[in-house]
Amino acid sequence: MPPLLSKDKGKAKVDIPADLTEEERAALIAAAEARQRSFERSFAGPSVGKAGLIRDQTEINKVIAEASKGSKYYQNQVRKDKELTEKIEWYQAKRDDLMKMANIPRLESEADRILLEVEATRDTSQVIVHVDMDAFYASVEVQRDPTLKGKAFGVGQGVLTTASYEARKFGCRSGMAGFIAKKLCPHIILTKMHFDLYIAASKAVREVLLQYDENLMMASLDEGYLNITPYMSSHNMTASETVAHIRADVEAKTQLTMSAGIAPNRMLAKICSDKNKPNGQYEMNFERSVITKFMRDLPVRKIPGFGRVTERCLEGLGVETCGDIYTHRAQLLVMGHWFGFRGLCKAYLGIADNNVAPGKREERKSVGVERTFRDKVDDEDILNEVASIAEELEKDLERLQYAGKTVTVKYKLHTFENKTRARSVGKYISTSKEILPIALELMKRELPVRIRLLGIRLSTLKDLTVTDKGIKGFLTSPSKKRGTSISRHSTPTAIDDDDDMPELIRMEEEDEAEVLDMTFDEDKSESDSSTPPPTSILGKRKSSEKDKPHLLGPVCPICNKALGPGTSNLGLNEHIDWCLNKDAITEASKKSPIKKAKIEKGVPAKKTKEKGTMLEWLKKK
Partner DNA sequence: TGGTTGAAC
Partner DNA sequence: AAGAGTTCAACCA
Query: Are the beta carbons of 262 and 240 closer than 8 angstroms?
Result: yes
Beta 418-429 vs 366-376: how paired, if at all?
unpaired
Helices and strands (DSSP H and E) totals, the chain: 23, 14
Smallest gap from Cβ 210 to DNA, in A, equals 21
Entry field: residues in the chain = 621
Query: Looking at 41-49, 203-211, 281-289, 512-520, which segment touches DNA (CB under 7 A)?
Result: 41-49
Q: Figure out which of the listed residues 235, 371, 444, 596 binds DNA, where binding follows CB under 7 A.
A: 371
**Does 138 interact with DNA (rule: CB under 7 A)?**
no
Which letter does DSSP use for residue 342 in this model? H
Smallest gap from Cβ 399 to DNA, in A, equals 10
Q: Figure out which of the listed residues 408, 430, 567, 581 binds DNA, where binding follows CB under 7 A.
A: 408
Nearest to 119 by CA among 355, 349, 284, 343: 349
Which residues within the stretch 71-110 sit at the binding site for DNA (CB under 7 A)? 71-74, 80, 84
Query: Are the beta carbons of 299 and 310 closer than 8 angstroms?
Result: no
Smallest gap from Cβ 37 to DNA, in A, equals 16
Query: Are the beta carbons of 220 and 174 closer than 8 angstroms?
Result: no
Cβ-based nearer residue to DNA, 109 or 592:
592
Going across the sheet that includes 402-413, the strands are 366-376, 451-463, 402-413, 418-429
Size of the site for DNA (CB under 7 A): 73
Half-sphere exposure in the Cβ direction for 178 (13 Å, CA)? 11
**φ, ψ dihedrals at 261, nearest 5°:** -125, 140
**Cα distance between residue 575 and residue 556, in whole Å:** 7
Cβ-based nearer residue to DNA, 322 or 369:
369
Which residues within the stretch 377-396 sit at the binding site for DNA (CB under 7 A)? 396
Q: Figure out which of the listed residues 6, 424, 477, 531 binds DNA, where binding follows CB under 7 A.
A: 424
Query: Looking at 19-27, 39-47, 117-125, 210-218, which segment touches DNA (CB under 7 A)?
Result: 39-47
**Does 455 interact with DNA (rule: CB under 7 A)?**
yes
Contact track, DNA, 323-342, x by CB under 7 A: ----------------xx--
Smallest gap from Cβ 191 to DNA, in A, equals 14
Smallest gap from Cβ 17 to DNA, in A, equals 30
Query: Looking at 113-121, 142-150, 419-427, 463-471, which segment touches DNA (CB under 7 A)?
Result: 419-427
User: Which residue out of 40, 223, 512, 574 is catalytically annotated?
Assistant: 223
In DSSP notation, 65-129 reads: HHHHTTSHHHHHHHHHHHHHHHHHHHHHHHHHHHHHH--HHHHHHHHHHHHHHHHTT---SS-EE
**Does 298 interact with DNA (rule: CB under 7 A)?**
no
Cβ-based nearer residue to DNA, 421 or 524:
421
**Does 372 interact with DNA (rule: CB under 7 A)?**
yes
Query: Looking at 164-172, 177-185, 323-331, 477-485, which segment touches DNA (CB under 7 A)?
Result: 177-185
**Does 462 interact with DNA (rule: CB under 7 A)?**
no
Taking the CA atoms of the chain, what radius of gyration do you get in angstroms?
27
Nearest to 360 by CA among 226, 476, 471: 476
**Cα distance between residue 138 and residue 165, in whole Å:** 9
CA angle, corner 577, sides to 573 and 583, nearest 5? 145
**φ, ψ dihedrals at 408, nearest 5°:** -120, 125
Which residues within the stretch 589-608 sit at the binding site for DNA (CB under 7 A)? 590, 607-608
User: Greatest CA separation found in the chain?
Assistant: 78
Smallest gap from Cβ 414 to DNA, in A, equals 9
Which residues within the stretch 251-290 sit at the binding site for DNA (CB under 7 A)? none
**Cα distance between residue 616 and residue 118, in whole Å:** 17
**Does 67 interact with DNA (rule: CB under 7 A)?**
yes
Nearest to 462 by CA among 430, 424, 422: 430
**Cα distance between residue 408 and residue 454, in whole Å:** 11
Cβ-based nearer residue to DNA, 320 or 545:
320
**Cα distance between residue 133 and residue 309, in whole Å:** 27
Query: Looking at 121-129, 272-280, 367-375, 560-568, which segment touches DNA (CB under 7 A)?
Result: 367-375
Query: Looking at 38-46, 237-245, 526-534, 547-555, which segment touches DNA (CB under 7 A)?
Result: 38-46
Smallest gap from Cβ 280 to DNA, in A, equals 20
Write the CB contacts of 288 (distance below 8 Å, at least 6 apart in sequence).
Answer: 122, 124, 518, 529
Which residues within the stretch 144-173 sit at the binding site for DNA (CB under 7 A)? 156, 158-159, 161
**Cα distance between residue 127 and residue 460, in whole Å:** 36
Cβ-based nearer residue to DNA, 222 or 283:
222
Q: Is 223 a catalytic residue?
A: yes
Cβ-based nearer residue to DNA, 134 or 417:
417
Give the start-end residues of each E strand in 470-541. none
**Does 617 interact with DNA (rule: CB under 7 A)?**
yes
| H or E segment and range at residue 589 | helix 569-589
**Does 63 interact with DNA (rule: CB under 7 A)?**
no
Q: Figure out which of the listed residues 35, 39, 43, 348 binds DNA, where binding follows CB under 7 A.
A: 43
Q: Figure out which of the listed residues 7, 206, 421, 506 binds DNA, where binding follows CB under 7 A.
A: 421
Smallest gap from Cβ 446 to DNA, in A, equals 10
Indicate which residues carry an active-site annotation: 223
